[in-house]
Structure 1
């Protein structure tokens, strides 16, 4: 085992946060998932990300230093989403161990991690792979994260701290994106090596549409854009609802620009869907005595802006050619690219794995795909997909606060953030793990059902 410099920094920040109190710990924990390409600890070829290491400090803060274990247990027992997520984790771990052994050599897979000797196309016969262990650890960390955030956010002060932490995540994601954009030829290149030390393939210095792709603190542009989509949903909803409007509005706008600048096909394809989600939320948030100016502005101006852009494209040939060429390179021509063909192959094998396992899945962490939906079906089958859908419904769809109160507005933001992350994952997600930030937002939304109304004294 080796402790990386970023791991030492994580330990120092964790100790300082424990000394400062639970608020600092929660905020730091919500920000750390932005380091998606970093390894704090390395065991052979396996690395532990800083956010997963920081879970230890979060557990110490929640379970031993502030409030004890009993409040957390009470919050979990009153939460049906925790039960559904726990069922998904248990089913995933069980199938991840038994399915590759019981169905060994009955079909081919695109493996997650290492297993047998792959052919030139990266295909191996079904059998145990290293992804069975690592994905089980990640999904277990997701469950722990959801339960910790659920416990913290069930109290007014903790609810506010998680909200601020997620805005900090958005700011950090933008910071690393901008730093990556200006880094060539500067000392920032060497500094990025400290947070790009995991055993991933980093797609650095790739050129698309004449522009260098942005990956920020992530392994590739699609991961950076996917995280940014989640922040578009979260910060955009906060701005629409008039909560922390100056900061959230700026974070929303810059996140949108960074997605386009990343030239990620999944990000650019997902952005209009996320903006449509925000527009629907604006319609329900506008009007009445408690309606916000931002929501009314969005509802009234978006059709006018769409018409203006349409006229501009129709009347200005140069502008139309520029926009069309960009969309053609990043989206329209993408299905014929080598990467798209490769990812299509992953999905084809994933669908075959689903049917070949009679709908039960070939085991968590076994098969790599290029869509979260296919990853669910191929890895954990119909039972695991059902557990996840029930978790989704009970954690981010059903819980509601007092209409147009602070907690309800933040809950809408968390819900939209989760939905926008799902949009990106459905386009290009390769595993069942959606990342810690998804479960932080799900825990924030799910806390509404645990505690009920959170006083508006926490409002910005």
Structure 2
């Protein structure tokens, strides 16, 4: 085991937050999950990110408090979304250890980690790999994150702390993106070396057409764009609902700008989808009193501004050429690139893995894909798709909280943020690990639905919306 300097800092912060209480632990855990290119410590070949270290402190703090621990355990009841998430985790972890052995050699896979076969860059026979254990640990961590945050967010103070943590993640994501651009422009990238120490392949200095590919605190531009789609959906919704308008509106606007400038096909393809989601949310907010003035402005001004922008493009050939060239460079040309062809082949082989395993999957962490649904089918099969679908429906498809209250607004924001992340995963998701930020969004929404009586405890908080 090797402890890194950022790991020492993370442990010190964790100890301070443990002393301050579960609210500080929740803020710290959610915010620290933005450090996607960091490793607090190494255990063998495994990278342990700072967010997961903070998650350990959160679990310790929450389980020593009766109210939070009872609410966390209750979140695993069959009537709760956590039950279906637990089913997915249990099946996934079991499949990681059983399927590559029971079905060994039955199909060819693109291995996610190392196997007994040499790494040739091509397919190998199905066999256990190093990522079976790593992905099992990440899946267990995601379940733990979900359960702990549901437990904390069951109280008024915990709900406020969770919201603060989510906003902290969004602000940090934006700050690190501009730090990435600034250090690259000034040749001082080494200043961010302390947080780019993970033993992954890091694409932090890549360019496309002379433009810096923005990675922020992550390993590559597509991962940053996927995270920023979630930030844009979450903060944009909070701005529409009138919550901390200056902060949420600024971060949402900057996030959209960063998505456009990121040169990531994931971001450029996902931004119009998230914009449509936000416009639909604005329409649904009409008639909600003074807190809906932002929504009303969007509903009224968005169509004429979109038409004006379209006319500008059509009437100015230079602008049209610039936009077309950028879209070609960042999106269309990638489909025929070496990377695009490779990712397409991952999906073809992974879907064949699903068929060859009779719909059971070849095991969590076994195969590599480039689409979340195909990865889910290839590794956990029909059972995994069923468990995840019920979990997502339970978390995001039902109304949450009292209408026009802060808790209901945050639930909608969490849903829109999660949809942004999910759309990114549909484009570039190599595994079914959606990260702590997604789990925190899901837990924030799930904490509200089953607690109709507990909503009265949240009403003083919601009354300010």
Please give the range of the TM-score, normalised by the shorter of the 2 chains: over 0.9
Structure 1 position 30 matched with structure 2 position 11: no
* Partner deviation per Cα, 1:72-130 (whole Å, 9 max, x = no partner): 32344375211101110111111111111111112111111111334533322110011
- Is 1:205 the equivalent of 2:205? yes
Aligned twin of 2:58 = 58
TM-score normalised by the chain length of structure 2? 0.96
Structure 1 residue 291 displacement after superposition = 5.3
183-192 or 249-258, larger mean C-alpha shift: 183-192
Partner of residue 21, structure 1? 21
Could you tell me whether the CA contact under 8 Å between 2:33 and 2:50 is conserved in 1?
A: yes
Report the alpha carbon displacement of residue 271 of structure 1 after superposing the two structures with TM: 0.8
CA shift for structure 1 position 395? 1.3
The equivalent position to 2:461 in structure 1, one of 436, 457, 460, is 457
Partner Cα distance (1:301, 1:377) in 2 = 42
1:117-266 matches, within 5 Å, as 117-118=117-118, 120-184=120-184, 186=186, 188-266=188-266
> Equivalents in 2 of 1:86, 1:398: separation in Å?
20
* Matching of residue 271 in structure 1 with residue 271 in structure 2: yes
Q: 1:254 to 1:80 in 2, by over 3 A?
A: same
1:25 CA displacement: 1.4
Compute the displacement of 1:456 (Å): 3.7
Moved more, 143-152 or 71-80: 71-80
Q: Which residue of 2 aligns with 1:319?
A: 319
CA gap 1:63/1:78 in 2 versus in 1, 3 angstroms: farther
Separation in structure 1 between the aligned mates of residue 185 and residue 246 of structure 2, nearest angstrom: 34
1:98 aligns with 2:69: no
**For residues 291 and 184 of structure 2, what CA distance do their matches in structure 1 show?**
45
Q: Does 1:424 align with 2:424?
A: yes
CA shift for structure 1 position 44: 2.0
Q: Find the counterpart in structure 1 of residue 394 from structure 2.
A: 394
Counterparts of 1:269 and 1:187, CA distance in 2: 30
TM-aligned CA deviation for residue 293 of structure 1 = 1.0
Q: Match for residue 346 of structure 2?
A: 346
What CA deviation, in whole Å up to 9, does each residue of 1:34-56 have, x standing for no partner? Answer: 00111111022111111111111
**1:367 equivalent in structure 2:** 367
Shift of 1:182: 1.0
Cα contact 2:150–2:446 (8 A) shared by 1? yes
In 2, distance between residues paired with 1:75 and 1:361? 27
- Matches of 2:78 and 2:24 in 1, distance apart? 26
Match of 2:439? 439
Q: Shift of residue 441 of structure 1?
A: 0.5
Q: CA deviation at 1:184?
A: 2.6
Q: What is residue 378 of structure 1 aligned with on the other side?
A: 378
2:73 counterpart of 1:81: no
The count of residues paired between Structure 1 and Structure 2 equals 460
d(CA) in 2 for partners of 1:76 and 1:432? Answer: 20
Q: Judge conservation of contact 2:183–2:191 (CA < 8 Å) in 1.
A: no
Structure 1 segments, 4+ long, off by >4 Å, are: 185-188
Unaligned runs of 5+ in 2: none
Change (3 A) 1:181 1:91: same
DSSP 3-state at the match of 1:42: strand
CA positional deviation for 1:185: 6.5
> Deviation digits for residues 214-273 of structure 1, max 9, x if unmatched?
111111000011110101110000001111111111110111111111111111101110
Match of 1:11 in 2: 11
Per the alignment, in what secondary structure is the counterpart of residue 449 of structure 1? coil
**Equivalents in 2 of 1:260, 1:187: separation in Å?**
23
Give the 3 Å change call, closer, same or farther, for CA 33–346 of structure 1 in structure 2: same
Question: 3-state DSSP class of the match of 1:292?
Answer: helix
Tell me if the contact between 2:346 and 2:369 (Cα under 8 Å) persists in the aligned partners: yes
Contact 1:91/1:384 (8 A) holds in 2: yes
Tell me if structure 1 keeps the 8 A contact 2:5–2:40.
yes
Deviation at 1:5, TM superposition (A): 0.7
The worse-fitting range, judged by mean Cα deviation, of 179-188 and 230-239 is 179-188
TM-score, normalised to structure 1's length?
0.97
TM-superposed CA distance for 1:144, in Å, is: 0.6
